[in-house]
Structure 1
Amino acid sequence: MLAATWARGPGPAVIGRALGAIAQTLLVLLVVSVVSFGFLKLTPGDPVAVVLGSDFSKESYDKLHSELGLDQPIAVQYGRWLVRFVQGDWGQSYISRQDIFEQAVQQALPVTLVLAGLSLAIALLVGIPLGVLAALRRNSWIDLTASAIAIGGNAFPSYFLGVVLIWIFGVTLGWFPTMGYVAPWDNLAGGLWHLALPSVTLGAWYVGLIATITRSSLLEVLAQPYMAAARARGEPAWRVVWVHGMRNVLMPLVTVIGLQLGGMLRGAVMTEVVFTLPGLGMMITNAVQTREYPVVQAGIMITALLFVAVNFIVDRTYVLLDPRLRKHGR
C-alpha cells in the first residue's frame, strides 16, 4: 500500500494548494516591488547629485544620469530592474561600487537573522517561564512582578531602551561593547558578547508579550476538565503543566509570535542603527540617506521574502502542533 501511495504521488488537491500558494507569494512580491519602486522614485533627492558631490558640470551630470538609466520612464526603469533582479543581477552600489546581492544577502542579511534569532530566543526563554509562573501563582506577588515586567517591556521603545542599556552596561559599567559586530561563526564568545545588548533591546518587548499570552492561555487551559483528570490520575504537577497544559498553549503562542515577527524585523532596523550593526536595517538606512534606490529596493524585497517565509513556517507549525490539521490534508 505504501508503495502504491508513493507511486501515485501527491494528489491533485495538494498540488493545487501548492501552486496556489506559490502564485499568491509571487503576486505579493510583485505588488510589493511595484509599490516600493514607485514610492522610491517619488522621494525627494537626486542620487546623481549625491554621487557627483557639490561641484559638477552639466555634461558629467547628464552622462551619469543616462548611465544609471534615470533618464528613462519609470515603467521602463522598473521593467529593466525586475528582469535583472529575477536573473540575480541586482546591480552595483553607487557609492561603494559593491555588488548589491553580495552586500545585501551575504553580508547584511546574516546579521539581521542572527540578531532576530537571538532576540526571539531570549523572549521565549524568559517570557514562557515567566507566564507559566504567573499563571500558577495567580494574584500573588509573583504574578504582579511578572505583570510589571511585561508592562515595562512593552512600554520602552527599542531605540530608547537601547540607549539606556548602552549608558548603563556599556558606558557606566563597561560590561558590554556599545557598538560593532563580530560574526558568531567566526568567534562565538565575541559574537554573543557584542550581540548581548542589541538582543536584549529587541527581545524585551516580546518578553512581555509572550509572558502575557502564556499566562492568559494557561489560565484558560488549567480550568479545563481534562487538566483536572490528569491531576486526578496522579500525574506529576510539572507534567500536567508542561505537557498537557503547554501543548494547548502553543497554538495561540505560535500565532502571536508569527504575527509579531514582522514587528521584530521592523524593530531590528532601529536596533541596528543604535548599535551600528551592519544588518539590513543599517544598510537600508544608509541607502536612503544616499538615495541608492537599488539598495533600498533590495532590502525591501528581502524583508518581504522574510515575511512570506515566516508565514509559511507558522502555517507548517500549526500542522505539527495539531494532528487534526494533518487529517484534513493541511
Structure 2
Amino acid sequence: MAFTSQRLGAASWWRSLGALAQTALVLLVVSGVSFLFLKLSPGDPVAIMLGSDFSRDSYDQLYRQLGLDQPWIQQYAHWLWRFVQGDWGMSYVSKQDIFEQAVLEALPVTLTLAALSLLVALVVGIPLGVVAAVKRNSWADLLASAVAIGGNAFPSFYLGVVLIWLFSVALGWFPSMGYVSPWDEPLTGLWHLALPALTLGAWYVGLIATVTRSSLLEVLEQPYMAAARARGEPGWRVIWVHGMRNVLMPLVTVIGLQLGGMLRGAVMTEVVFTLPGLGMMITSAVQTREYLVVQAGIMITALLFIAVNLIVDRTYALLDPRLRQR
C-alpha cells in the first residue's frame, strides 16, 4: 500500500512538473512571436516619443538609449531576462511602472468585467436553456432560441453602441463611460459596469442556453431520469438536481473554452465604454507604439488563458468523482 502511494505521489509530481514545463514553453513561444510581430509592425516609437520637432542627434541618442540599435534577438533576450525578474520597464507616455500599470490597475478591471459578464451569461443562459429543453417545440422554446440567436448575432462593439444610445443617451438610466471599482463603491461600480457586462455577456447567453438545451434534452431521455420520476420526486428536483448534474460537464467545457473569447471581447468592450482595463491599455499602447506595454498585456492575457484551462481541468475532478482517482 505504501509503495502504491509513493508511485501515485511520484506520478502526480511528474505531471505537475510536466504541466509547469508546458506552461513555460507556451509563454516562451507567445512572447517570441508577439515580440517579432511588434518589431515588424509599422511605426517609429522614437519619433512618437520625441514629437514633431527633434534633431537627428537627439533621435540617435534616444534610439541607442532604448537599445533599438541592437539585433532583435539581443533585444528579446534582454527584455525576457528583465521580464522574468519583475522589471517590466517604464511607460514613456504615463511615466509609470508597467507592472503597476498592467497588474495592479488594468488587470483588476478586466477580471471584474469578465466575472460580471460571465455571471450575467450564467444567470440568463442556463434558465433559458432549461426552459427550452423542458418545453421543447413550444412557444417558450422558440422564444428562448430567438434570444439565443439574437445574442450570438450582435457583435460586442455594435451592441455596446446600441445600448449606450438607448439606455444612456435616450433614457439616461446608465452612464455611457467611465469606471468606478465595485470593490470600493459596490452600487456605483455595478451601475457603471451594467451596460459593459450586458454587452460582453450577451453572446455567451446564447451559447450557454444552446449548450444547456441540447445537453439536457439528451439527459431527459436517460433511464435514471425516468426512475427519478417514478420515485415520485418533484419535477424541479428531477431537472435541477439529477438533470443539471449531468449537464454541468459539457457546460463547464464550453465555458472554459470560450472564456478566452470573452477576454478578447473585453478589448472592444473596454474601448467602447472607455474602461481602463487590459484591452484599453493594449489598444492605447499600440497606437503610441509602446512595445513594452503591449508585450506585458499579451503575456498577462496568455497567463489568463493558461489559468482558465487549469481551473477547468480541476473542475472536472470536482464534478465527476471518477476522475479523482486518475
After TM superposition, the score normalised by the length of structure 2 is 0.98
In structure 1, distance between residues paired with 2:93 and 2:65:
15
Q: Structure 1: how far apart are the matches of 2:7 and 2:109? A: 39
What is the DSSP-based 3-state SS (H/G/I as helix, E as strand, rest coil) of the residue aligned with 1:174? coil
Q: State the distance in 1 between where 2:238 and 2:311 align.
A: 28
Matched, 1:227 2:252: no
Q: Tell me the CA shift for residue 96 of structure 1.
A: 1.3
Q: Which runs of 4+ in 1 moved over 4 A?
A: 7-10
Q: C-alpha separation between the residues in 1 aligned to 2:185 and 2:137?
A: 45
Deviation track 1:220-248 (CA, whole Å, cap 9, x = no partner) reads 00000110011001111111101110010
How big is the shift at 1:94? 1.5
The alpha carbon displacement at 1:202 in A equals 0.1
Residue of structure 2 aligned with 1:170, choices 168, 171, 191? 168
The aligned residue for residue 293 of structure 2 is: 295
Aligned to 2:47: 49
Residue of structure 1 equivalent to 2:191: 193
Q: How does 1:22-101 map to 2 (within 5 A)?
A: 22-101=20-99
Q: Mind listing any 5+ residue stretches in structure 1 that lack a counterpart?
A: none
Match of 1:306 among 293, 304, 307: 304
CA–CA distance in 2 between the matches of 1:186 and 1:221?
Answer: 43
Q: Percent identity among equivalent residues?
A: 79
Q: Paired residues, what number?
A: 325
Q: Which amino acid aligns with 1:21?
A: A
Amino acid in the other structure paired with 2:38: L
Residue of structure 2 in register with 1:277 after alignment: 275
Deviates more, 1:8-17 or 1:157-166: 8-17
Q: Distance between the aligned counterparts of 2:168 and 2:182, measured in 1? A: 20
In structure 1, the partner of 2:265 is 267
Equivalents in 1 of 2:9, 2:198: separation in Å? Answer: 46
Shift of 1:97: 1.1
TM-aligned CA deviation for residue 10 of structure 1: 6.0
Cα distance in 2 for residues equivalent to 1:222 and 1:9: 41
Q: 2:211 aligns with which of 184, 193, 213?
A: 213
Structure 2 unmatched ranges of 5 or more: none
Match of 1:144 among 142, 145, 151: 142
Instruction: State the Cα distance separating 1:198 from its structure 2 match.
Output: 0.1
| Structure 2 CA distance for aligned equivalents of residues 316 and 62 of structure 1 | 52
Please report how far the alpha carbon of residue 67 of structure 1 lies from its aligned counterpart in structure 2 after TM superposition. 1.0
Q: CA deviation at 1:298?
A: 0.1
Give the letter aligned to residue 53 of structure 2: D
Amino acid at match of 1:262: G
User: Is 1:181 aligned to residue 179 of structure 2?
Assistant: yes
Please provide the CA RMSD for this pair: 1.2
Paired residue type of 2:288: T
1:204 aligns with 2:183: no
Q: Quote the Cα distance in structure 1 between the aligned partners of 2:26 and 2:110.
A: 22
